[in-house]
Structure formats: C-alpha cells, structure tokens
Structure 1
Amino acid sequence: MPKITRDSLMSLEAYAKARPEFRTKIMAHKKNRIVHLGTHITLHFEDELTMRYQVQEMLRAERIFEEEGIQEELDAYNPLVPDGSNWKATMMIEYPDIEERKVKLAELKGVENRVWVQVAGHDKVYAIADEDLERENEEKTSSVHFMRFELAPAMVNAAKAGAAIGVGVDHPAYMEAVSPLPANIRDSLTADLSA
C-alpha cells in the first residue's frame, strides 16, 4: 500500500492555493471512514490520503519547509497508514462536559484494548493500541488513541470478496457495536486491503 512520500507532498505555496479544494475532497473522503460507536466513541479510519492531509496541515501550521522537518512529519504519520493487511484508526472519546469527561475517562481505563473489528465468518480482531507511546495512566485513559487491527489473510480475502464487517467495543463501562457497517464505509475500508 502507498505511503506518504516527499514527492506526494505539495510545497507550502502550492498547498496554500490547493487547500480549499483539497480540504473539501478530504472531508468527503472522511465521511466514508468514520464509525460512531454510541454517542461518545468515534473511530476515524486512516489511510494515505487522510494522513497526507494531516502532514500538509502540520507543515502549513508550523511553516515547515526544510527537508529534516518534513521527514520528521513523514516519520510521525506514515505509521498510521494501513499496509494492506490491517486497518488503522484514531479513536476519539468525547464527553463535552469537563467534569463528566474526567469521571468517564477513569471508568474507561483499558477501553483501547477492547475495540474490535470483525469480518463475517471470522473471529473478532482486537486493537493493538498506542504502539508509539502509552496513553493511559493509573487514573485514566486518554481521550485519543491510535490503533491497528491486524487481519489474517483469510479475513482480508473475505472482506475483499464482500463479507460484512462489524466494528465495536466491549468494555464493561461501554458496550457498542455497528454491525454490519454501511456499504460506503465497508467499501472504503476494503480498499485499504490487498489480497
């Protein structure tokens, strides 16, 4: 699967011109890659395009134009691009009220390890979470986690052949699932897989 390369990025000047149109394209693309698990947990499934957008936005915000800085951003975001046998997602835990959020993040310790995907006819695959750094402490979990769902070859083949896909979380304090995924999301996710 493609990774973000220096050649796939626009210069700051070119990005400034292309940004409105590129942003519209990204927002439409992301609609097919977001799964809401209940009211408070959302999975944003990443791919080369969503991560390239993130890199372009970081370069723009930080005014990074030197090769070393650009490479640092590529090194940070490329691990979030799926590589053909997995899905990668950013999980957001959202509670608007600050006090409620504190309580819930304490109750949800370990939730990042209880998020799953399932290709019909196969076992659930639980997330491998936060491979870059620990995001949970003794008191609470983080409101943002990065996760990878590694699929066996038979799961990849089944998904590519049209099998239904479900996504959920089965933490004692939060149980939600979307199964099967709507066709637009299923199709977008299967495009990340290579048979």
Structure 2
Amino acid sequence: MVKITLQDILPWEIYEKVRMDRIRRIIEIKSKRRIELGDRLTLLFENRDTVLQQIQEMVYLDKKGKKEDILEEIRIYSTLLPCDGKIKASLYIHSYDFKDLDWVYDNLRGIYNSIFLKVGNKLIQGIPEGGREQGREFSTVQYLTFDLEGEKSTDMEVHVIHENYRYSTKIDKSLAEDLIREAYDVCEKI
C-alpha cells in the first residue's frame, strides 16, 4: 500500500474550497466498501482513499497547519491501511438515542470481538485495535484487523457471532478482489 505523505494532504484553507467535491467522491467509494450487518452494525473496509479522506478531514476540522501536527494525524490513521496480508475495517455500532445506547452497552458488550471474515474455508476473527478501554461504555466505532495468514480466496463472507446478535452475508466478488489485492500490498514505512 502506498503510504500517505505530507504532500498528499492539502492545507485546510485549500481543502475547504474543494471539500464538498471530495466528500461526494468518498461517499461513492465508501458505498462500495460498506456492508450493513443487520440494523445495529456497519462494516467499512478501509483503503488508501478512505484513510486519506479521514486524515484530510481531521486536518480541516482542527485547522491544523503545523507540519508536525499533520504528520501525527498521518501516523495515527495510517495504521488503518490494509497491507502485509491484513484487511482493515471500521466497525460502526449503531444506537438510536441515549436510552438505546444503554441497551447497546448492556446487550452488545464484546460485539467488537465477534466479527469474522470467512475467506475460502478459513474463519478469521477481526482483532480490535489495542490500547482501547473496553469497559461498559465501549466505543461505538472500533477498528478491526483481519490477518489473512496467506489465504487469498475471493470467496468471502462476513459473520457476526455474538450471544445476542447474529448475522451473515456474502461479500461481493468485486469488493473481495479489491480486498485481497490491497491486503497483499507491502506496507511502506511512514
């Protein structure tokens, strides 16, 4: 995967002028990489475009102009780039209001450890990002890594296997091909 560099990030003042065009473009890209897993979960498979847009938005929203601040955003979000045999995804856990969020916390605890990719005949558990406190009020956005361990089949499914939530769906062949290609790119060092 081609690393994201300082040169890829527009200054926030310039980005502001093209922001809506960029957002329209990324919505189109994400629509092909997003999988709804029932009414409570969405899985977004990350790639260079999605990660670059996230960094660009953070620079814009926080009005970051210092080189070291922008490089820190690049360092943080580049961990979401797929490569070296790993698929990366963001898991969104939905609630409808604050009362419902309590229901999510009580009933979907550990859901972030319950997402699996079936690649060929291999079932691969998504591993949540380390270093996050996963107490009662866990984050409703989780970053998952699926280590393919050499598997290259484009016959893919997503499975949610949780005591209170089950869901399975097949991944479109075109997306599966992209995921395998991206996963087996070599990680470039930042």
Taking structure 1 as the reference length, the TM-score comes to 0.87
Match of 2:161 in 1: 170
Show structure 1 runs of 4+ deviating over 6 A. none
3-state SS in 2 of match to 1:192 = helix
Match of 2:22 in 1: 22
Q: Distance in 1 between matches of 2:178 and 2:33?
A: 7
Shift in Å at residue 142 of structure 1?
2.7
Q: Distance in 2 between matches of 1:38 and 1:49?
A: 26
Q: Which amino acid aligns with 2:124?
A: V
Structure 2: gaps (5+ residues): 186-190
Shift in Å at residue 144 of structure 1?
1.5
Q: How many residues align?
A: 185
8 A contact 1:108–1:140 mirrored in 2 = no
Structure 1: gaps (5+ residues): none
Q: Distance in 2 between matches of 1:22 and 1:65?
A: 19
Q: Distance in 1 between matches of 2:92 and 2:43?
A: 6
3-state SS in 1 of match to 2:64 = coil
Q: Distance in 1 between matches of 2:114 and 2:184?
A: 26
**Among the aligned pairs, what percent are the same residue?**
25
Taking structure 2 as the reference length, the TM-score comes to 0.89
Judged with a 3 Å threshold, the aligned counterparts in structure 2 of structure 1 residues 93 and 84 are, in CA distance, closer, same or farther, namely same
8 A contact 1:93–1:143 mirrored in 2 = yes
Q: Distance in 2 between matches of 1:103 and 1:12?
A: 39
1:97 aligns with 2:123: no
Match of 1:186 in 2: 176
RMSD: 1.7
8 A contact 1:105–1:143 mirrored in 2 = no
Q: Distance in 1 between matches of 2:119 and 2:48?
A: 22
Match of 1:107 in 2: 107
Q: Distance in 1 between matches of 2:15 and 2:37?
A: 34
